Amino acid sequence: MKRWIVLLISIGAIVSLVAWRLASKSKDAQMAAQGRVAQAKAALPVTVAPIVARDIIQTFTGVGSVVAPFNVKIAPKVSGRLDYLQVREGARVQQGEVIARIDPSEILAQVNQQRAAVAEAQQRLAQAQFTQNPTNVNVATQIQTQVAAVASAQADANQTRENYASQVAAANAAVTDAQGRIDSAQAAITSANANIRSAQANLTNAQVRYNRTYDLYKQGYVAAQDVDDAKTTVSVQNEAVGVAQSALNAANAARSSAAAQKNAAQEQANIVAKKGKADIAAADARLAQAKSALKYARSNVAQTPAYAANLAALRASVSAAQAQLKNVEAQLDDTILRSPVSGFVNARFVDPGSIVSPSQPVIGVEFTRDVFVDTSIPEDIANHLRAGQPADVTFDSFPGRKFDSHITQITPAADPTSRQMPVRVTLNNPNNTIKPGMFARVAVITDRIAGALVAPREAVQTGRTGSFVILVDKANIAHRVPVELGAQDAAGFQIRSGVHAGDMVVTLVNGNIKDGAPVKSITLAARGAPRGRGAAPESAGRPTTVGGATSASAGR
């Protein structure tokens, strides 16, 4: 009995508990429904921002690598043993600084040899210049001498002809005289005394002729034969005197002697004639020789241009020797290797003591005071760029830093594979902060739209019917407004139709907003264009949840 009572009590307790639980759940459901109704009628809190009129700045960001403007591999121009090389990788060098030397001993010997060659050529030139004037004077003197020689030879020729005439006349006179002596000899038969006087006269006459001939001989006008002949005549006349004196009766002998004298005189006349003609011919030959010598002396005047040409050749020899000297001196200077640019050593290819040759690099130097960043730009964007246009460069190695630069070069030909145009920008790098080979991002402005109506990127949503914004009017009522999008930048989209400047649009809401629903707005300041010349942040273009919808970039 007691068991049944306990069982009934337990069952009653369970039923009461279930009934209470059901009543509690019904009440909770009713309260939740009332809360949902109240929540639906309450205004949603939203964040709004105004539509602003500003410039749309479109940018493009490309990636590239840092390149040094000058990457010089320094090589010698001459072969030899490397004596000096102190710098190593990373060392800073200045333009013109000596960085290496090659053993100059062999080239120095060539320099000394060529200097001697220059001195020798200059000595030959100086000697030729020194002898030029004396040579010209000598030529003039020779001409004057030969003119005098011609005049003397002409006088000798004239004198020879005169002597010839006188000698012929004398010889003819001797013949005539011999004939007379023959006649005298015949007369002497009867007059010995007369013959003696005649012989004496003839002897005196012969002696006078001898003296005159001897004088002429000493002066060189007659030959020794003439002197001998004259002397013979004296002897003959002396004999004639003796004959006349010794034998008056020797008339026949005297006549014979006179006849012999006549023959001798005739022979002498013939000899005189031949000798005179020979003397005249010799005098004429000497005159012709003197004239030839004068002509030769005058022809030496033509040596003046030859001397001038010789001097010019000697001057050319001096110039050639000096040029060769400069060449070997340049080779001597080439044994010293200097840095052509200021920068940093990026490579060292040999060590001191090595044998180097032309075109064999010894060391490499990079100029990094200014650096290039080479990137590639699509051809449609490259058409909007120009040389000298500013650009912003950022490096992952320097987060948060932006480096100003400008476009230096736009290659007019696109790469046939990528269809992109190579573009180069230049950055100042006075502190060597940026290193060649670093990865860089280059941002350039590609277009600017002035006075565009711009909505924040978070306010633009995309639905099945297109793009729209949620506009909040002055009564804080939300309205869904379709819009036509235009250009965009990092901060917003250009709205071509559907809104006006100053309209407030929703940028952030927790939940869905129905068209015509009341909202409770929190106003944000209007956003301007992105600061600087840089590209949009990496988040630009990514979908962003706004009010349960999805906003997207209106890409080109």
Same domain, 432 and 485: no
Helices (H), 189-250: 192-219, 224-246
38 part of a folded domain: no
Interval 458-510: pLDDT, tens: 989 988 888 999 999 888 899 999 999 988 887 889 999 888 998 999 988 87
Q: Are 384 and 446 in contact (CB under 8 A)?
A: yes
Distance CA 166, CA 499 (A): 152
459 part of a folded domain: yes
348 part of a folded domain: yes
Same domain, 474 and 429: no
Give the number of other CB atoms < 10 A from CB of residue 289.
Answer: 13
Same domain, 476 and 509: yes
Same domain, 148 and 274: yes
Where does 90-136 show beta strands of DSSP type E?
Answer: 92-93, 98-102
How far CA 186 is from CA of 183, 200, 201, 262, 291, in Å, comes to: 5, 17, 17, 15, 56
How far CA 33 is from CA of 20, 23, 126, 506, in Å, comes to: 20, 16, 128, 28
pTM, to two decimals: 0.45
Same domain, 290 and 184: yes
| Alpha-carbon dihedral sign for residues 262, 264, 267, 273 | negative
Same domain, 540 and 406: no
How far CA 359 is from CA of 75, 79, 343, 494, in Å, comes to: 5, 10, 21, 60
Rg (CA), the chain: 69
Chosen domain end from 445, 465, 483: 445
Burial class of residue 202 (count of CB atoms within 10 Å of its CB; 0-12, 13-18, 19+)? buried
Same domain, 175 and 278: yes
Same domain, 129 and 253: yes
Same domain, 471 and 538: yes
Give SS3 for 494. Answer: strand
Q: pLDDT in tens for each of the 556 residues of the chain? A: 566 676 667 776 777 777 777 777 776 666 665 555 555 556 788 889 999 999 888 888 889 999 888 888 888 888 888 888 888 887 888 888 888 888 888 878 888 888 888 888 888 878 777 665 565 656 667 677 777 777 887 887 788 777 778 777 777 777 787 777 777 766 666 666 666 777 778 888 888 888 888 888 888 878 888 878 888 888 887 887 776 666 666 667 667 777 777 787 778 778 877 777 787 888 788 778 877 777 776 666 555 666 677 778 878 888 888 888 888 787 778 788 888 888 888 888 888 888 888 888 988 888 888 888 999 888 888 888 888 889 999 999 899 899 989 998 888 888 888 888 899 999 988 888 888 889 999 988 888 888 889 999 898 998 888 899 999 988 889 999 999 998 888 788 999 988 899 899 998 887 788 888 888 877 765 555 554 443 333 333 333 333 333 333 333 2
Give SS3 for 529. Answer: coil
Chosen domain end from 426, 445, 464: 445
Backbone angles phi, psi at 521, to 5 degrees: -95, 145
The set of long-range contacts for 109-112, using a CB threshold of 8 Å and a minimum separation of 24, is 110/328, 110/331, 111/325, 111/328, 111/329, 111/332
Distance CA 255, CA 273 (A): 26
Chosen domain end from 400, 416, 445: 445
Distance CA 455, CA 48 (A): 11
Residue ranges making up the domain that contains 137: 110-189+249-304
CATH number at residue 433: 2.40.30.170
Same domain, 346 and 484: no
Total number of domains in the chain? 4
Specify whether the backbone of 29 is left (phi greater than 0), alpha (psi in -120 to 50) or beta.
Answer: alpha
171 part of a folded domain: yes
Same domain, 292 and 402: no
466: Cβ contacts below 8 Å, ≥ 6 apart: 482
Interval 362-371: pLDDT, tens: 888 888 888 8
384: Cβ contacts below 8 Å, ≥ 6 apart: 446, 447
- Token representation of residue 336: 């010293």
Same domain, 467 and 494: yes
- Token representation of residue 278: 């020979």
